[in-house]
A and B are shown apart, each in its own frame.
Chain A
């Protein structure tokens, strides 16, 4: 006896309907993309990721910035030799939102940094699809102005594969917004911030680049501060400097989690850290 259509069936029907032409400007509905809020960063998943940053097909994510194949090599930003020029873009990605969730921060930042390329990275496949659909729809709605051409989202496990996407000193800003707190002590290695992982953030950040963190869990905030402060490559931004940064306000109010915490009357703890120059060899 057929019961009510299952969740999967509904999602499939919905995604089929999205493919139709008249839907191309419609924003995706979040209810069809919900996914459990946790993912195991140690598991293999079935991920696709480039062998190295120069191998990354950025052009398919930022079609408006695709390097023209016939142009001189000077416009190609990354490793022009040996690489397929059709994958290259005219400027490097400089802002990464790690664990972008439903992309609230990305969509708020994209108009504020119209000349900078932003990427959201999300490990949960459905959530990532939602953001990609929303980008597609927003780009379609803004064909005239070309807005949202500078933002994209891809599925990745950044804890393992961050250096596969970004070259040394490529990024100017990294956002870590409302990460999974992993309350149990046994799970602390799964946290997005740790002394050992901070070395990888330092590697992909330019000297002077900034890591932004925000969370509603005080203990996690203390943990992130402790681990970044303990890392010799990072220095915490002072209160004043932090509050003057336009990104901090956006992060507080525009992220999906930020709004939820606000509705709930919870606290939001912010900390930002600047990537220092590497010291000379001893």
Chain B
């Protein structure tokens, strides 16, 4: 069965030709690129081959079992796609090998792989800053790294030399504890063993490319944003901010580099994980996650402006569409909503609007945001033929946008687990009536009709991983 697209991105890379477009879509380990002229290309991830470990080399001390990787032979699945604002590069994240991959994107949509950088932990969110020169990568361990989009060759050499020097100096192993350290009996024995062991090999080498650790949470990061606002004085440089959201309800606002160690504030008010952040056209911050409400923030003053229910529209939608398979609920109150995406719609009117999707809810929710009068409201609910997985906006003419939604055609609408009884042939659904969109859709179905080489379980997590962020009762004490 064809695999749905977990990520879609549309853009118009050719500044000369405003009618041409490129659609980039990831399905399992593949990235499809589709140009309006009809040209289609596919890139497929391969497992990075690591040099084989020699058996006579000293191994990591026993204790941590190394997975004998059968699944590692599977090509890693793509979990994120980001196109630079000049449409010349694509940044993709592959989940299983934790790799950041950068491609050059030409005018016809062809992808040319430029670099692949394996990160220490799985990247959860990426964004581009400083005119696309730098990638910010937020990972599962809570850290945010800054990496150059296109690494310069001299950086790599410098790091290589530094690593070599370090290796020489740290050749002999010295245990950090001493017999005078307060210890239990068992610890003392472990220390004796350590002293007998002459040398402990490094399990993981340092990263072999330029990367700066900017900030970190002690929690899994879920989203990252970057904002620039005018300085207080007219001649001052613009002020830059990094927003990071985590699984422990926090939204942190830090200064942008080079002062990213300074925390300006926290937006506090969520009771469950935060999964998505979005800045509206007028600069308000909107956050959503496992709570029943979206929250609109005056983020400069760490102040909550407004709560907008997302649960009520979802309940109303299911009530109006009883045909959808829903997870069985005791009562309406038990419905758990997990926001999977928030997108700002550029609008010419004075009011902002955002599109919101929730995991396993086959609809788009359009909200008008008016934080000044605190009268934000649901504007429209757009039913879809299946669960939305990702969404992209393609500008078409003055202030109108085509919305392209990637649909999960393999699962029942309304369910994140149940497979569909009958096959539907819609993988991308396009809203707003636009002739060009239709052309774009039919072809995608064809290209995607290939067997999926990736693991289903891994994909399930990429498609529907948000609800799993929720904390479960009875965790260890």
Contacts and interface: CB of A to CB of B under 8 A. Distances in A.
A203 B476 CA distance: 29
Interface residues of A, number: 51
Interface string A249-276: 0000000010011001111000000000
A199 B182 contact: no
A267 B239 CA distance: 46
Interface in A33-81: 37, 40-46, 51-52
Interface string A141-178: 00000000000000000011101100010000000001
Nearest to A204: B263
A124 to B, nearest CB: 9
Contacts of A218: 176, 178
- Most chain B beta carbons < 10 A, residue from A43, A163, A261: A163
A194 interface: yes
A231 B249 CA distance: 26
B18 interface: no
Contacts of B262: 199, 202, 233, 278
B434 to A, nearest CB: 44
A116 interface: no
Contact of B219 (A160, A185, A198, A233): A160
Given A217-B181, A232-B261, A281-B255, A159 B268 contact: no
Contacts of A202: 261-263
Nearest to A189: B141
A43 B248 CA distance: 11
Contacts of A267: 180
Contact of A161 (B180, B203, B248): B248
Interface string A209-220: 000000011111
Contacts of A181: 176-177, 181
Contacts of B477: 45-46, 125
Contacts of B333: none
- Most chain B beta carbons < 10 A, residue from A183, A194, A196, A233: A196
Interface in A104-144: 125
A163 B250 contact: yes
Nearest to A281: B239
A194 B239 CA distance: 26
A24 interface: no
A281 B240 CA distance: 9
B48 interface: no
Interface string A9-48: 0000000000000000000000000000100111111100
B281 interface: no
Interface stretch (B210-218, B350-358, B459-467): B210-218
Given A195-B213, A265-B180, A282 B237 contact: yes
A279 interface: yes
Contacts of B271: 51
Contacts of B266: 52, 163
Contacts of A194: 216
Nearest to B184: A37
Contacts of B184: 37
B182 A260 contact: yes
Nearest to B261: A199
Nearest to A266: B180
B438 to A, nearest CB: 47
14 contacts: A37-B184, A51-B269, A51-B270, A160-B248, A168-B263, A168-B265, A183-B177, A186-B64, A186-B203, A195-B213, A196-B143, A198-B261, A217-B178, A282-B258
Given A183-B175, A199-B216, A265-B180, 20 more contacts: A41-B218, A43-B475, A44-B475, A44-B476, A45-B476, A46-B477, A51-B269, A52-B268, A163-B250, A163-B266, A183-B176, A195-B261, A196-B142, A199-B262, A202-B263, A217-B177, A219-B177, A231-B261, A232-B261, A261-B182
Interface of A: 37, 40-46, 51-52, 125, 159-161, 163-164, 168, 178, 181, 183, 185-186, 189, 194-200, 202-203, 216-220, 231-233, 257, 260-261, 264-267, 278-279, 281-282
Interface of B: 64, 141-143, 175-178, 180-182, 184, 203, 213, 215-219, 231, 236-237, 239, 248-250, 254-255, 258-259, 261-263, 265-266, 268-271, 471-477
